[in-house]
């Protein structure tokens, strides 16, 4: 359980976070989105106990993160936006090194490393970290964040810069962590991934929360459903309606922005002799919402 209340962070005179509050239940995936400079990394670093807020409180699983950051870190895995790995180490030695930092016995480290490499479909084949591809390095950093089997994972843009296949496998892996009962907080610029994976989404703009909730709640708050009516009509000139329509292979599409509009337009179309082929609902995407909110 995470409870953030009025988190404020100033860098000098600049308020990077300005009164951020939210609650998050265990076992949920929480997406933090916003334009560049909105404050996502700052929030994640505070949640990981790496920087202190200027004001406000943050309690994670009963631990006051501001007062006891070390207690938090035992049960937390953090993936920075850009992780510097020890390039000359082998993957196994690197994971063992971090396992030792967490005080894990050698046999536990070995078993856990093998499990993680297997789950992440990572086969380093004895290579040094410096010789791995960017996607493999990201997976090594994810394995490192999980070596001590923490309940809370904080990932800053985990899929940034990865090719579509690797990005997909990392996202699927993150979604799978929820099934293991873990809580994941992640930021991303790929909004489709956030829509797909997250139970809750927080939208930041210039350090303030502009919206938070499930995708369903955000859609209700940020935009109406658009209905697209696909139809054929013998003589398009007989159909007059204030909406635009697009012709393609003798088919037309009209958009209605409410159920009343939809009913009125389908009635008008039927009266004009049109054959309605199908009606599709179009929900606003996170991308559309973010564009609406503006920079």
Ligand X SMILES: Nc1ncnc2c1ncn2[C@@H]1O[C@H](COP(=O)(O)OP(=O)(O)OP(=O)(O)O)[C@@H](O)[C@H]1O
Residue from 31, 34, 69, 135 in contact with ligand X (CB under 6 A) = 34
Decide if residue 36 touches ligand X (CB under 6 A). Answer: yes
Point out which span in 30-38, 85-93, 122-130, 166-174 binds ligand X (CB under 6 A): 30-38
Contact 289, 223 (CB under 8 A): yes
Q: Could you please report the per-residue DSSP string of 134-198?
A: HHHHHHHHHHHHHTT--SEEEEESTTTT--HHHHHHHHHHHHHHHHTT-EEEEE-S-HHHHHHH-
Tokens of 227: 């209905």
Distance (Å, rounded) from C-alpha 128 to C-alpha 116? Answer: 17
Contact 164, 196 (CB under 8 A): no
CA 51 to chain centroid: 22
Helix 91-101 to helix 106-119 angle, to the nearest 10 degrees?
130
Residue from 2, 4, 7, 16 in contact with ligand X (CB under 6 A) = 16
Decide if residue 244 touches ligand X (CB under 6 A). Answer: no
Decide if residue 19 touches ligand X (CB under 6 A). Answer: no
Tokens of 131: 């010789």
Residue from 1, 3, 11, 275 in contact with ligand X (CB under 6 A) = 11
Decide if residue 41 touches ligand X (CB under 6 A). Answer: yes
Distance (Å, rounded) from C-alpha 45 to C-alpha 73? Answer: 12
Question: What number of residues does the chain have?
Answer: 295
Q: Which is nearer to ligand X, 36 or 179 (CB)?
A: 36
Decide if residue 42 touches ligand X (CB under 6 A). Answer: yes
Residue from 2, 29, 40, 98 in contact with ligand X (CB under 6 A) = 40
Q: Which is nearer to ligand X, 186 or 231 (CB)?
A: 186
Q: Which is nearer to ligand X, 41 or 145 (CB)?
A: 41
User: Considering the complex, what minimum distance in angstroms separates the CB of residue 45 from ligand X?
Assistant: 8
Q: Which residues contact 84 (CB under 8 A, 6 or more apart)?
A: none
Distance (Å, rounded) from C-alpha 21 to C-alpha 4? Answer: 5
Decide if residue 38 touches ligand X (CB under 6 A). Answer: yes
User: Considering the complex, what minimum distance in angstroms separates the CB of residue 201 from ligand X?
Assistant: 14
Residue from 19, 27, 37, 223 in contact with ligand X (CB under 6 A) = 37
Q: Which is nearer to ligand X, 147 or 289 (CB)?
A: 289
User: Considering the complex, what minimum distance in angstroms separates the CB of residue 183 from ligand X?
Assistant: 20
Q: Which is nearer to ligand X, 13 or 235 (CB)?
A: 13
Q: List interacting residues with ligand X (CB under 6 A).
A: 11, 14, 16, 34, 36-42
């Amino acid at each position: 359980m995470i409870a953030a209340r009025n988190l404020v962070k100033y860098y000098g005179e600049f308020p990077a976070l300005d009164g951020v509050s939210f609650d998050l239940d265990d076992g949920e995936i929480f997406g933090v989105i916003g334009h560049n400079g909105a404050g996502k990394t700052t929030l994640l670093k505070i949640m990981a106990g790496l920087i202190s807020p200027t004001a406000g409180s943050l309690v994670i699983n009963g631990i006051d993160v501001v007062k006891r950051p070390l207690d938090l870190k035992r049960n937390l895995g953090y993936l920075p936006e850009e992780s510097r790995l020890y390039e000359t180490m082998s993957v196994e030695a690197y994971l063992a090194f971090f396992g030792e930092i967490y005080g894990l016995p050698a046999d536990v480290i070995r078993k856990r490393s093998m499990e993680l490499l297997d789950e992440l479909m990572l086969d380093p084949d004895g290579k040094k970290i410096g010789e791995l591809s960017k996607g493999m390095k990201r997976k090594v950093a994810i394995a490192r964040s999980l070596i001590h089997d923490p309940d809370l994972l904080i990932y800053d843009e985990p899929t940034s810069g990865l090719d579509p296949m690797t990005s997909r496998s990392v996202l699927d892996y993150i979604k799978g962590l929820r099934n293991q009962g873990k809580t994941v907080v992640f930021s991303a610029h790929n909004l489709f991934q956030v829509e797909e994976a997250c139970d809750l989404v927080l939208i930041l703009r210039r350090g303030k929360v502009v919206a938070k909730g499930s995708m369903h709640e955000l859609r209700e708050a940020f935009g109406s459903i658009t209905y697209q009516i696909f139809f054929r009509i013998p003589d398009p000139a007989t159909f007059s309606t204030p909406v635009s329509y697009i012709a393609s292979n003798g088919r037309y599409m009209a958009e209605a922005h409410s159920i009343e509009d939809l009913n009125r337009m389908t009635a008008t179309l039927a009266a004009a002799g049109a054959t309605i082929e199908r009606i599709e609902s179009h929900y606003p995407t996170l991308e559309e919402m973010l564009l609406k909110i503006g920079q």
